[in-house]
Structure 1
Amino acid sequence: MVAFLGMGLLGTNFVKAMLKKGVEVQVWNRTPGKAGALAGEGAKAFEQAADAVRNADVIHVTLKDDASVNDVLNLAQGGFKPGAIIVDHTTTSVEGSIERTNLWKERGYTYLHAPVFMGPVNALESTGFMLVSGDQQLISKLEPQLSAMTGRLINYGEQPGKAAGMKLVGNLFLVSFTAGIADSLSLASALNIPSSDVGELFDIWNPAMILQARLKKVAGGKYDNPSWELSMARKDTQLFMDTASKAGKGFIAVPAIAKKMDQLIAEGHGNDDWTVLGKDSRM
Protein backbone atom coordinates (compact mmCIF):
# COMPACT_ATOMS: atom_id res chain seq x y z
CA MET A 1 0.00 0.00 0.00
CA VAL A 2 1.30 3.45 -0.99
CA ALA A 3 0.06 6.83 0.22
CA PHE A 4 0.58 10.13 -1.57
CA LEU A 5 0.21 13.51 0.16
CA GLY A 6 0.02 16.59 -2.05
CA MET A 7 -1.97 16.47 -5.26
CA GLY A 8 -0.45 19.31 -7.20
CA LEU A 9 0.46 18.82 -10.85
CA LEU A 10 3.48 16.67 -10.01
CA GLY A 11 1.83 14.58 -7.30
CA THR A 12 -1.31 14.01 -9.36
CA ASN A 13 0.66 12.65 -12.30
CA PHE A 14 2.88 10.51 -10.08
CA VAL A 15 -0.31 8.91 -8.75
CA LYS A 16 -1.81 8.45 -12.22
CA ALA A 17 1.37 6.68 -13.34
CA MET A 18 1.29 4.42 -10.27
CA LEU A 19 -2.35 3.55 -10.85
CA LYS A 20 -1.62 2.59 -14.46
CA LYS A 21 1.02 0.19 -13.15
CA GLY A 22 -1.49 -1.44 -10.80
CA VAL A 23 -0.24 0.15 -7.58
CA GLU A 24 -2.85 0.71 -4.89
CA VAL A 25 -2.64 4.37 -3.85
CA GLN A 26 -4.32 6.36 -1.08
CA VAL A 27 -4.29 10.13 -1.64
CA TRP A 28 -4.85 13.36 0.27
CA ASN A 29 -4.67 17.06 -0.47
CA ARG A 30 -5.49 20.16 1.57
CA THR A 31 -8.06 20.97 -1.12
CA PRO A 32 -10.11 17.73 -1.04
CA GLY A 33 -11.34 18.12 -4.61
CA LYS A 34 -7.88 17.57 -6.05
CA ALA A 35 -7.59 14.23 -4.28
CA GLY A 36 -11.19 13.31 -5.03
CA ALA A 37 -10.61 13.84 -8.74
CA LEU A 38 -8.32 10.81 -8.70
CA ALA A 39 -10.94 8.52 -7.22
CA GLY A 40 -12.40 7.98 -10.68
CA GLU A 41 -9.03 6.67 -11.81
CA GLY A 42 -8.74 4.14 -9.03
CA ALA A 43 -7.14 6.02 -6.14
CA LYS A 44 -8.65 6.05 -2.65
CA ALA A 45 -9.15 9.67 -1.61
CA PHE A 46 -9.36 10.82 2.01
CA GLU A 47 -10.28 14.12 3.64
CA GLN A 48 -7.88 13.61 6.56
CA ALA A 49 -4.15 13.12 6.08
CA ALA A 50 -3.96 10.61 8.92
CA ASP A 51 -6.59 8.43 7.23
CA ALA A 52 -4.80 8.62 3.88
CA VAL A 53 -1.57 7.17 5.28
CA ARG A 54 -3.17 4.42 7.35
CA ASN A 55 -1.75 0.97 6.46
CA ALA A 56 0.68 2.51 3.93
CA ASP A 57 4.19 1.09 3.89
CA VAL A 58 5.55 4.04 1.92
CA ILE A 59 4.24 7.60 2.09
CA HIS A 60 5.19 9.92 -0.76
CA VAL A 61 5.08 13.69 -0.29
CA THR A 62 5.03 16.43 -2.94
CA LEU A 63 4.39 19.80 -1.32
CA LYS A 64 5.61 23.41 -1.47
CA ASP A 65 8.38 23.93 1.07
CA ASP A 66 9.87 22.97 4.44
CA ALA A 67 6.98 24.44 6.42
CA SER A 68 4.27 22.66 4.44
CA VAL A 69 6.11 19.33 4.64
CA ASN A 70 6.47 19.66 8.39
CA ASP A 71 2.82 20.66 8.85
CA VAL A 72 1.41 17.88 6.69
CA LEU A 73 3.60 15.14 8.16
CA ASN A 74 2.57 16.22 11.66
CA LEU A 75 -1.08 16.07 10.57
CA ALA A 76 -0.58 12.59 9.13
CA GLN A 77 1.54 11.10 11.91
CA GLY A 78 -1.43 9.72 13.83
CA GLY A 79 -2.10 7.31 10.97
CA PHE A 80 1.46 6.15 10.34
CA LYS A 81 1.94 2.41 10.27
CA PRO A 82 4.81 1.19 12.48
CA GLY A 83 7.98 1.25 10.40
CA ALA A 84 6.44 3.44 7.68
CA ILE A 85 8.84 5.10 5.22
CA ILE A 86 8.37 8.72 4.19
CA VAL A 87 9.71 9.68 0.76
CA ASP A 88 9.68 13.44 0.26
CA HIS A 89 9.95 14.79 -3.30
CA THR A 90 9.54 18.44 -2.29
CA THR A 91 12.29 20.95 -3.07
CA THR A 92 13.41 22.10 0.38
CA SER A 93 16.40 23.48 2.24
CA VAL A 94 19.35 21.25 3.05
CA GLU A 95 18.89 22.00 6.75
CA GLY A 96 15.23 21.00 6.60
CA SER A 97 16.05 17.73 4.88
CA ILE A 98 18.63 16.83 7.53
CA GLU A 99 16.38 17.87 10.41
CA ARG A 100 13.50 15.73 9.14
CA THR A 101 15.79 12.74 8.61
CA ASN A 102 16.83 12.93 12.26
CA LEU A 103 13.43 13.90 13.66
CA TRP A 104 11.48 11.06 12.09
CA LYS A 105 14.17 8.57 13.03
CA GLU A 106 13.74 9.67 16.66
CA ARG A 107 9.99 9.16 16.29
CA GLY A 108 10.48 5.62 15.00
CA TYR A 109 9.98 6.22 11.28
CA THR A 110 12.23 6.58 8.25
CA TYR A 111 12.47 9.75 6.15
CA LEU A 112 14.20 9.93 2.76
CA HIS A 113 14.47 13.12 0.76
CA ALA A 114 14.17 12.39 -2.96
CA PRO A 115 13.74 15.66 -4.90
CA VAL A 116 13.26 15.52 -8.65
CA PHE A 117 14.11 17.25 -11.88
CA MET A 118 10.75 16.33 -13.37
CA GLY A 119 7.73 18.21 -14.66
CA PRO A 120 4.16 16.91 -14.68
CA VAL A 121 4.65 15.20 -18.06
CA ASN A 122 7.76 13.43 -16.74
CA ALA A 123 5.85 12.24 -13.67
CA LEU A 124 3.12 10.79 -15.87
CA GLU A 125 5.58 9.13 -18.24
CA SER A 126 8.05 8.04 -15.51
CA THR A 127 10.92 9.96 -17.11
CA GLY A 128 13.32 12.54 -15.72
CA PHE A 129 15.68 12.47 -12.75
CA MET A 130 15.24 11.72 -9.05
CA LEU A 131 17.98 12.50 -6.52
CA VAL A 132 18.65 10.65 -3.27
CA SER A 133 21.30 10.59 -0.55
CA GLY A 134 21.59 9.18 2.96
CA ASP A 135 21.06 5.68 4.34
CA GLN A 136 22.35 3.41 1.58
CA GLN A 137 20.55 0.30 2.82
CA LEU A 138 17.27 2.21 2.71
CA ILE A 139 18.01 3.53 -0.76
CA SER A 140 18.83 0.04 -2.00
CA LYS A 141 15.54 -1.21 -0.57
CA LEU A 142 13.55 1.57 -2.26
CA GLU A 143 15.50 1.69 -5.52
CA PRO A 144 13.15 -0.57 -7.53
CA GLN A 145 10.12 1.51 -6.54
CA LEU A 146 11.80 4.88 -7.02
CA SER A 147 13.43 3.90 -10.30
CA ALA A 148 10.01 2.94 -11.62
CA MET A 149 8.87 6.51 -10.99
CA THR A 150 11.60 8.21 -13.02
CA GLY A 151 13.98 7.78 -15.91
CA ARG A 152 17.06 7.85 -13.71
CA LEU A 153 17.70 7.63 -9.98
CA ILE A 154 20.89 9.49 -9.00
CA ASN A 155 22.46 8.44 -5.69
CA TYR A 156 24.72 11.05 -4.04
CA GLY A 157 25.98 8.81 -1.28
CA GLU A 158 25.59 8.63 2.47
CA GLN A 159 25.50 12.35 3.31
CA PRO A 160 21.97 13.38 4.38
CA GLY A 161 20.91 16.58 2.69
CA LYS A 162 23.27 16.18 -0.29
CA ALA A 163 20.34 15.45 -2.63
CA ALA A 164 18.57 18.58 -1.37
CA GLY A 165 21.69 20.63 -2.07
CA MET A 166 22.14 19.23 -5.58
CA LYS A 167 18.51 20.00 -6.34
CA LEU A 168 18.98 23.62 -5.27
CA VAL A 169 22.13 23.93 -7.40
CA GLY A 170 20.27 22.59 -10.41
CA ASN A 171 17.27 24.86 -9.87
CA LEU A 172 19.51 27.91 -9.52
CA PHE A 173 21.05 27.08 -12.88
CA LEU A 174 17.59 26.77 -14.43
CA VAL A 175 16.56 30.16 -13.03
CA SER A 176 19.78 31.80 -14.25
CA PHE A 177 19.54 30.05 -17.61
CA THR A 178 15.98 31.27 -18.11
CA ALA A 179 16.98 34.82 -17.16
CA GLY A 180 19.76 34.59 -19.75
CA ILE A 181 17.31 33.45 -22.40
CA ALA A 182 14.94 36.30 -21.50
CA ASP A 183 17.77 38.85 -21.74
CA SER A 184 18.90 37.42 -25.10
CA LEU A 185 15.37 37.72 -26.45
CA SER A 186 15.12 41.31 -25.15
CA LEU A 187 18.29 42.21 -27.03
CA ALA A 188 17.03 40.41 -30.14
CA SER A 189 13.77 42.34 -29.93
CA ALA A 190 15.69 45.62 -29.61
CA LEU A 191 17.53 44.65 -32.81
CA ASN A 192 14.31 43.56 -34.59
CA ILE A 193 15.57 39.99 -34.74
CA PRO A 194 12.73 37.43 -34.43
CA SER A 195 12.96 34.76 -31.74
CA SER A 196 12.90 32.09 -34.46
CA ASP A 197 16.26 33.39 -35.71
CA VAL A 198 17.64 33.19 -32.16
CA GLY A 199 16.43 29.60 -31.98
CA GLU A 200 18.12 28.80 -35.28
CA LEU A 201 21.39 30.34 -34.07
CA PHE A 202 21.35 28.22 -30.90
CA ASP A 203 20.49 25.16 -32.96
CA ILE A 204 23.55 25.67 -35.16
CA TRP A 205 25.84 27.08 -32.44
CA ASN A 206 24.73 25.11 -29.41
CA PRO A 207 25.92 26.83 -26.20
CA ALA A 208 25.24 23.62 -24.25
CA MET A 209 28.25 22.06 -25.96
CA ILE A 210 30.63 24.32 -24.01
CA LEU A 211 28.93 23.94 -20.62
CA GLN A 212 31.33 21.38 -19.12
CA ALA A 213 34.43 23.20 -20.37
CA ARG A 214 33.14 26.50 -19.01
CA LEU A 215 32.30 24.91 -15.65
CA LYS A 216 35.84 23.58 -15.35
CA LYS A 217 37.27 26.97 -16.33
CA VAL A 218 35.25 28.88 -13.74
CA ALA A 219 35.92 26.32 -11.01
CA GLY A 220 39.58 25.92 -11.91
CA GLY A 221 40.65 29.31 -10.59
CA LYS A 222 43.20 30.05 -13.35
CA TYR A 223 42.24 33.17 -15.25
CA ASP A 224 45.64 34.50 -16.41
CA ASN A 225 45.56 32.95 -19.91
CA PRO A 226 42.50 34.67 -21.38
CA SER A 227 40.56 33.60 -24.43
CA TRP A 228 38.29 36.64 -23.89
CA GLU A 229 39.50 39.37 -21.58
CA LEU A 230 37.14 40.65 -18.94
CA SER A 231 37.52 44.23 -20.17
CA MET A 232 36.42 43.16 -23.65
CA ALA A 233 33.47 41.21 -22.26
CA ARG A 234 32.51 44.34 -20.29
CA LYS A 235 32.67 46.38 -23.50
CA ASP A 236 30.24 43.98 -25.16
CA THR A 237 28.01 43.99 -22.10
CA GLN A 238 27.72 47.77 -22.40
CA LEU A 239 26.75 47.34 -26.05
CA PHE A 240 23.95 45.01 -24.95
CA MET A 241 22.65 47.52 -22.42
CA ASP A 242 22.94 50.56 -24.68
CA THR A 243 21.18 48.81 -27.55
CA ALA A 244 18.34 47.61 -25.34
CA SER A 245 17.96 50.98 -23.65
CA LYS A 246 17.59 52.81 -26.96
CA ALA A 247 14.73 50.46 -27.87
CA GLY A 248 13.08 50.77 -24.47
CA LYS A 249 13.91 47.21 -23.51
CA GLY A 250 15.13 45.96 -20.15
CA PHE A 251 17.24 43.11 -18.83
CA ILE A 252 16.93 40.78 -15.84
CA ALA A 253 20.49 39.60 -15.24
CA VAL A 254 22.81 41.73 -17.39
CA PRO A 255 22.90 44.87 -15.16
CA ALA A 256 24.02 42.81 -12.15
CA ILE A 257 26.68 41.11 -14.28
CA ALA A 258 27.95 44.49 -15.51
CA LYS A 259 28.21 45.72 -11.92
CA LYS A 260 30.28 42.67 -10.96
CA MET A 261 32.51 43.17 -14.00
CA ASP A 262 33.15 46.78 -13.00
CA GLN A 263 34.09 45.67 -9.49
CA LEU A 264 36.56 43.09 -10.78
CA ILE A 265 38.10 45.48 -13.29
CA ALA A 266 38.58 48.02 -10.48
CA GLU A 267 40.39 45.27 -8.55
CA GLY A 268 42.81 44.78 -11.45
CA HIS A 269 41.26 41.83 -13.29
CA GLY A 270 40.52 43.61 -16.58
CA ASN A 271 43.13 41.59 -18.49
CA ASP A 272 42.12 38.26 -16.96
CA ASP A 273 39.87 35.74 -18.67
CA TRP A 274 36.27 36.80 -18.32
CA THR A 275 35.48 33.63 -16.34
CA VAL A 276 37.12 35.45 -13.42
CA LEU A 277 33.50 36.46 -12.82
CA GLY A 278 33.22 33.19 -10.88
CA LYS A 279 36.35 33.54 -8.74
CA ASP A 280 34.39 34.22 -5.52
CA SER A 281 32.19 31.17 -6.06
CA ARG A 282 35.04 28.68 -5.67
CA MET A 283 35.38 26.56 -2.53
Structure 2
Amino acid sequence: MVAFLGMGLLGSNFVRAMLSKGVEVQVWNRTASKATALETVGAKAFADVADAVKGASVVHLTLKDDDTVDEVLVAASAGLQPGAVIIDHTTTSADGAVKRTREWKERGFTYLHAPVFMGPQNAFDGTGFMLVSGDQDVIANQEAALSKMTGKVLNFGMETGKAAAMKLIGNLFLVTFTAGLADTLALAKAQNVPVEDVSALLSNWNPANMLAARIQRMTGGTYDKPSWELNMARKDAQLFLNAAAKANVPLAIIPAIAELMDSWIAKGHGSDDWTIIGKL
Protein backbone atom coordinates (compact mmCIF):
# COMPACT_ATOMS: atom_id res chain seq x y z
CA MET A 1 0.00 0.00 0.00
CA VAL A 2 1.32 3.42 -1.01
CA ALA A 3 0.05 6.85 0.03
CA PHE A 4 0.62 9.94 -2.08
CA LEU A 5 0.15 13.43 -0.66
CA GLY A 6 -0.12 16.38 -3.04
CA MET A 7 -2.12 15.91 -6.22
CA GLY A 8 -0.75 18.69 -8.37
CA LEU A 9 0.29 18.04 -11.96
CA LEU A 10 3.36 16.04 -10.91
CA GLY A 11 1.83 14.10 -8.04
CA SER A 12 -1.34 13.16 -9.89
CA ASN A 13 0.62 11.75 -12.82
CA PHE A 14 2.91 9.80 -10.49
CA VAL A 15 -0.27 8.28 -9.06
CA ARG A 16 -1.73 7.53 -12.49
CA ALA A 17 1.48 5.74 -13.43
CA MET A 18 1.46 3.70 -10.22
CA LEU A 19 -2.17 2.72 -10.70
CA SER A 20 -1.46 1.62 -14.27
CA LYS A 21 1.13 -0.78 -12.86
CA GLY A 22 -1.34 -2.27 -10.38
CA VAL A 23 -0.13 -0.42 -7.27
CA GLU A 24 -2.81 0.37 -4.69
CA VAL A 25 -2.59 4.10 -3.93
CA GLN A 26 -4.30 6.23 -1.30
CA VAL A 27 -4.28 9.96 -2.09
CA TRP A 28 -4.82 13.28 -0.38
CA ASN A 29 -4.75 16.90 -1.45
CA ARG A 30 -5.53 20.12 0.37
CA THR A 31 -8.04 20.89 -2.39
CA ALA A 32 -9.99 17.67 -2.05
CA SER A 33 -11.41 17.68 -5.58
CA LYS A 34 -7.93 17.09 -7.02
CA ALA A 35 -7.69 13.88 -5.00
CA THR A 36 -11.22 12.64 -5.61
CA ALA A 37 -10.73 13.16 -9.37
CA LEU A 38 -8.26 10.26 -9.28
CA GLU A 39 -10.85 7.84 -7.93
CA THR A 40 -12.07 7.40 -11.51
CA VAL A 41 -8.74 5.72 -12.33
CA GLY A 42 -8.57 3.59 -9.20
CA ALA A 43 -7.09 5.72 -6.41
CA LYS A 44 -8.72 5.91 -3.01
CA ALA A 45 -9.09 9.54 -1.91
CA PHE A 46 -9.28 10.82 1.67
CA ALA A 47 -10.31 14.19 3.05
CA ASP A 48 -8.16 13.71 6.16
CA VAL A 49 -4.43 13.34 5.52
CA ALA A 50 -3.99 11.12 8.60
CA ASP A 51 -6.53 8.69 7.13
CA ALA A 52 -4.79 8.79 3.75
CA VAL A 53 -1.53 7.39 5.16
CA LYS A 54 -3.06 4.63 7.29
CA GLY A 55 -1.81 1.21 6.24
CA ALA A 56 0.78 2.67 3.83
CA SER A 57 4.33 1.36 4.11
CA VAL A 58 5.57 4.16 1.85
CA VAL A 59 4.29 7.75 1.79
CA HIS A 60 5.24 9.99 -1.14
CA LEU A 61 4.95 13.78 -1.08
CA THR A 62 4.88 16.34 -3.88
CA LEU A 63 4.11 19.60 -2.12
CA LYS A 64 5.06 23.29 -2.32
CA ASP A 65 7.89 24.08 0.09
CA ASP A 66 9.51 23.34 3.46
CA ASP A 67 6.70 24.82 5.52
CA THR A 68 4.03 22.89 3.62
CA VAL A 69 5.92 19.62 3.95
CA ASP A 70 6.35 20.12 7.70
CA GLU A 71 2.70 21.08 8.16
CA VAL A 72 1.34 18.13 6.17
CA LEU A 73 3.63 15.59 7.83
CA VAL A 74 2.63 16.76 11.29
CA ALA A 75 -1.03 16.43 10.32
CA ALA A 76 -0.40 12.98 8.84
CA SER A 77 1.70 11.67 11.72
CA ALA A 78 -1.26 10.28 13.69
CA GLY A 79 -2.02 7.88 10.85
CA LEU A 80 1.52 6.77 9.96
CA GLN A 81 2.13 3.10 10.55
CA PRO A 82 5.25 2.22 12.58
CA GLY A 83 8.41 2.23 10.46
CA ALA A 84 6.78 3.86 7.45
CA VAL A 85 9.09 5.31 4.81
CA ILE A 86 8.47 8.94 3.82
CA ILE A 87 9.77 9.88 0.38
CA ASP A 88 9.62 13.59 -0.33
CA HIS A 89 9.85 14.78 -3.95
CA THR A 90 9.23 18.43 -3.05
CA THR A 91 11.83 21.03 -4.01
CA THR A 92 12.97 22.32 -0.61
CA SER A 93 16.00 23.80 1.10
CA ALA A 94 18.92 21.52 1.92
CA ASP A 95 18.65 22.54 5.59
CA GLY A 96 15.01 21.51 5.61
CA ALA A 97 15.83 18.10 4.16
CA VAL A 98 18.55 17.53 6.75
CA LYS A 99 16.27 18.60 9.60
CA ARG A 100 13.39 16.35 8.51
CA THR A 101 15.69 13.36 7.97
CA ARG A 102 16.95 13.69 11.54
CA GLU A 103 13.64 14.49 13.20
CA TRP A 104 11.62 11.74 11.55
CA LYS A 105 14.34 9.19 12.30
CA GLU A 106 14.07 10.18 15.95
CA ARG A 107 10.32 9.48 15.72
CA GLY A 108 10.98 6.02 14.28
CA PHE A 109 10.39 6.73 10.61
CA THR A 110 12.59 6.89 7.54
CA TYR A 111 12.58 10.17 5.62
CA LEU A 112 14.28 10.30 2.21
CA HIS A 113 14.40 13.47 0.16
CA ALA A 114 14.18 12.60 -3.54
CA PRO A 115 13.57 15.75 -5.63
CA VAL A 116 13.14 15.40 -9.38
CA PHE A 117 13.90 16.96 -12.71
CA MET A 118 10.63 15.78 -14.23
CA GLY A 119 7.54 17.35 -15.72
CA PRO A 120 4.03 15.90 -15.50
CA GLN A 121 4.47 13.80 -18.64
CA ASN A 122 7.76 12.43 -17.30
CA ALA A 123 5.97 11.43 -14.09
CA PHE A 124 3.42 9.45 -16.10
CA ASP A 125 5.96 7.93 -18.49
CA GLY A 126 8.58 7.11 -15.84
CA THR A 127 11.25 9.25 -17.51
CA GLY A 128 13.47 12.07 -16.27
CA PHE A 129 15.76 12.24 -13.25
CA MET A 130 15.29 11.68 -9.52
CA LEU A 131 17.96 12.83 -7.06
CA VAL A 132 18.86 11.13 -3.77
CA SER A 133 21.58 11.35 -1.12
CA GLY A 134 22.17 10.33 2.46
CA ASP A 135 21.91 6.91 4.15
CA GLN A 136 23.02 4.49 1.47
CA ASP A 137 21.22 1.54 3.06
CA VAL A 138 17.94 3.46 2.87
CA ILE A 139 18.64 4.37 -0.75
CA ALA A 140 19.51 0.79 -1.63
CA ASN A 141 16.22 -0.40 -0.14
CA GLN A 142 14.18 2.13 -2.12
CA GLU A 143 16.14 2.44 -5.36
CA ALA A 144 14.33 -0.31 -7.27
CA ALA A 145 10.93 1.24 -6.58
CA LEU A 146 12.18 4.77 -7.29
CA SER A 147 13.73 3.63 -10.57
CA LYS A 148 10.28 2.58 -11.76
CA MET A 149 9.08 6.15 -11.22
CA THR A 150 11.79 7.85 -13.27
CA GLY A 151 14.27 7.35 -16.07
CA LYS A 152 17.31 7.53 -13.82
CA VAL A 153 18.04 7.83 -10.10
CA LEU A 154 21.10 10.01 -9.45
CA ASN A 155 22.79 9.15 -6.15
CA PHE A 156 24.91 12.01 -4.79
CA GLY A 157 26.44 10.06 -1.93
CA MET A 158 26.20 9.95 1.84
CA GLU A 159 25.71 13.65 2.58
CA THR A 160 22.15 14.24 3.74
CA GLY A 161 20.69 17.27 1.98
CA LYS A 162 23.04 17.04 -1.02
CA ALA A 163 20.18 16.02 -3.31
CA ALA A 164 18.23 19.11 -2.24
CA ALA A 165 21.25 21.31 -2.94
CA MET A 166 21.75 19.76 -6.37
CA LYS A 167 18.09 20.28 -7.21
CA LEU A 168 18.33 23.97 -6.35
CA ILE A 169 21.51 24.32 -8.41
CA GLY A 170 19.79 22.69 -11.37
CA ASN A 171 16.73 24.88 -11.02
CA LEU A 172 18.86 28.00 -10.79
CA PHE A 173 20.52 27.03 -14.05
CA LEU A 174 17.11 26.55 -15.68
CA VAL A 175 15.94 29.95 -14.44
CA THR A 176 19.05 31.81 -15.59
CA PHE A 177 19.15 29.89 -18.86
CA THR A 178 15.55 30.82 -19.61
CA ALA A 179 16.04 34.44 -18.58
CA GLY A 180 19.15 34.67 -20.75
CA LEU A 181 17.29 33.14 -23.64
CA ALA A 182 14.52 35.68 -23.13
CA ASP A 183 17.10 38.48 -23.50
CA THR A 184 18.49 36.73 -26.58
CA LEU A 185 15.08 36.65 -28.21
CA ALA A 186 14.45 40.26 -27.15
CA LEU A 187 17.65 41.36 -28.90
CA ALA A 188 16.59 39.41 -31.96
CA LYS A 189 13.26 41.21 -31.93
CA ALA A 190 15.02 44.56 -31.55
CA GLN A 191 17.06 43.81 -34.67
CA ASN A 192 14.18 42.29 -36.67
CA VAL A 193 15.77 38.84 -36.68
CA PRO A 194 13.17 36.02 -36.91
CA VAL A 195 13.05 33.46 -34.13
CA GLU A 196 13.61 30.75 -36.72
CA ASP A 197 17.00 32.26 -37.56
CA VAL A 198 17.97 32.34 -33.89
CA SER A 199 16.98 28.69 -33.55
CA ALA A 200 18.99 27.78 -36.65
CA LEU A 201 22.07 29.58 -35.29
CA LEU A 202 21.88 27.85 -31.91
CA SER A 203 21.18 24.46 -33.47
CA ASN A 204 24.29 24.66 -35.65
CA TRP A 205 26.63 26.48 -33.26
CA ASN A 206 25.18 24.69 -30.17
CA PRO A 207 26.80 26.61 -27.30
CA ALA A 208 25.60 23.89 -24.90
CA ASN A 209 28.66 21.93 -26.01
CA MET A 210 30.80 24.56 -24.29
CA LEU A 211 29.37 24.02 -20.79
CA ALA A 212 32.01 21.66 -19.38
CA ALA A 213 34.89 23.72 -20.75
CA ARG A 214 33.30 26.96 -19.57
CA ILE A 215 32.89 25.66 -16.01
CA GLN A 216 36.51 24.54 -16.02
CA ARG A 217 37.65 27.95 -17.31
CA MET A 218 35.57 29.85 -14.76
CA THR A 219 36.77 27.78 -11.80
CA GLY A 220 40.37 27.25 -12.90
CA GLY A 221 41.62 30.41 -11.18
CA THR A 222 43.68 31.59 -14.17
CA TYR A 223 42.32 34.53 -16.14
CA ASP A 224 45.45 36.26 -17.45
CA LYS A 225 45.46 34.42 -20.79
CA PRO A 226 42.15 35.57 -22.23
CA SER A 227 40.31 34.11 -25.17
CA TRP A 228 37.90 37.06 -24.88
CA GLU A 229 38.98 40.07 -22.86
CA LEU A 230 36.56 41.46 -20.33
CA ASN A 231 36.87 44.91 -21.91
CA MET A 232 35.74 43.50 -25.24
CA ALA A 233 32.89 41.51 -23.69
CA ARG A 234 31.74 44.71 -21.95
CA LYS A 235 31.87 46.54 -25.26
CA ASP A 236 29.57 43.91 -26.76
CA ALA A 237 27.25 44.10 -23.77
CA GLN A 238 26.87 47.79 -24.48
CA LEU A 239 26.02 47.00 -28.09
CA PHE A 240 23.27 44.68 -26.84
CA LEU A 241 21.92 47.40 -24.59
CA ASN A 242 22.09 50.07 -27.28
CA ALA A 243 20.30 47.97 -29.90
CA ALA A 244 17.55 47.03 -27.45
CA ALA A 245 17.13 50.59 -26.23
CA LYS A 246 16.89 51.92 -29.80
CA ALA A 247 13.99 49.54 -30.47
CA ASN A 248 12.48 50.22 -27.04
CA VAL A 249 12.79 46.51 -26.16
CA PRO A 250 13.66 45.85 -22.48
CA LEU A 251 16.39 43.41 -21.45
CA ALA A 252 16.14 41.71 -18.06
CA ILE A 253 19.54 40.13 -17.42
CA ILE A 254 22.13 42.00 -19.47
CA PRO A 255 21.94 45.29 -17.50
CA ALA A 256 22.93 43.43 -14.31
CA ILE A 257 25.72 41.59 -16.13
CA ALA A 258 27.03 44.88 -17.52
CA GLU A 259 27.19 46.27 -13.97
CA LEU A 260 29.07 43.17 -12.82
CA MET A 261 31.52 43.57 -15.69
CA ASP A 262 32.05 47.22 -14.76
CA SER A 263 32.85 46.28 -11.17
CA TRP A 264 35.57 43.86 -12.30
CA ILE A 265 36.97 46.34 -14.80
CA ALA A 266 37.15 48.92 -12.01
CA LYS A 267 39.26 46.44 -10.04
CA GLY A 268 41.77 46.36 -12.91
CA HIS A 269 40.70 43.15 -14.65
CA GLY A 270 39.65 44.60 -18.02
CA SER A 271 42.43 42.76 -19.85
CA ASP A 272 41.70 39.42 -18.17
CA ASP A 273 39.45 36.74 -19.58
CA TRP A 274 35.82 37.79 -19.22
CA THR A 275 34.93 34.65 -17.26
CA ILE A 276 36.51 36.30 -14.24
CA ILE A 277 33.06 37.75 -13.57
CA GLY A 278 32.15 34.29 -12.26
CA LYS A 279 35.03 34.15 -9.79
CA LEU A 280 33.88 33.60 -6.21
* CA deviation after TM superposition for structure 1 residue 219, in Å: 1.3
CA distance in 1, matches of 2:205, 2:14: 36
Superposed displacement of residue 130, structure 1: 0.3
- How big is the shift at 1:194? 1.1
Deviation string, structure 1 residues 155-182 (Cα, Å, up to 9, x no partner): 0111100000000000000000000100
The 2-side partners of 1:231 and 1:93 are apart by 38
Matched, 1:266 2:266: yes
Give secondary structure in 2 for the equivalent of 1:112.
strand
Alignment partner, residue 210 of structure 2: 210
Paired with 1:249 and 1:228, the residues of 2 have a C-alpha distance of 27
Q: How far is the alpha carbon of 1:210 from its aligned partner?
A: 0.6
Matched to 2:84, the amino acid is A
For residue 87 of structure 2, what is the aligned residue in structure 1? 87
Which residue does the alignment assign to 1:63? 63
In the alignment, what sits opposite 1:233?
233
What is the alpha-carbon distance in structure 2 between the residues aligned to residue 27 and residue 74 of structure 1? 17
Q: Which residue of 1 aligns with 2:105?
A: 105
Post-superposition CA distance 1:97-117 (Å, at most 9, x none): 000001101111110000000
Partner of 2:200: 200
Distance 1:220 1:56 in 2: 49
Task: Give the distance between the partners of 1:81 and 1:224, measured in 2 at CA.
Answer: 61
- Stretches of structure 2 that go unaligned for 5 or more consecutive residues are none
State the shift of 1:233 in Å: 0.2
1:55-87 Cα deviation digits (max 9, x unpaired): 000000000000000000011000000000000
User: 2-side partners of 1:109 and 1:199: how far apart?
Assistant: 50
What letter matches 1:160 in structure 2? T
Cα distance, 1:222 vs structure 2: 1.0
Question: In the aligned structure 2, how far is the partner of 1:194 from the partner of 1:36?
Answer: 46
Corresponding residue for residue 74 of structure 1: 74
Aligned counterparts of 2:123 and 2:217: Cα–Cα separation in 1? 35
> 1:3-18 to 2 correspondence within 5 Å?
3-18=3-18
CA distance in 1, matches of 2:219, 2:127: 31
What is the CA distance between 1:196 and its match in structure 2?
1.2
Aligned counterparts of 2:95 and 2:261: Cα–Cα separation in 1: 33
What amino acid maps onto 1:148 in structure 2? Answer: K
- Superposition pairs for residues 27-42 of structure 1, below 5 Å? 27-42=27-42
Corresponding residue for 1:222?
Answer: 222
Q: Distance in 1 between matches of 2:59 and 2:211?
A: 37
Point out where structure 1 has 5 or more consecutive residues left out of the alignment. Answer: none
Q: TM-score, normalised by structure 2?
A: 0.99
CA distance in 1, matches of 2:44, 2:253: 46
**Structure 2 counterpart SS, 1:228:** coil
Coordinate RMSD, CA, aligned:
0.5
SS for the counterpart of 2:134 is coil
**Identity of matched residues, %:** 63
C-alpha deviation, 1:252, in angstroms: 1.2
Give deviations 1:190-231, integer Å, cap 9, x for gaps.
000111111111111101111111011111111111000000
Deviations 1:12-31 (A, max 9, x none): 00001111111110000000
Kindly tell me the number of residue pairs found equivalent between the two proteins: 280
Match of 2:167 in 1: 167
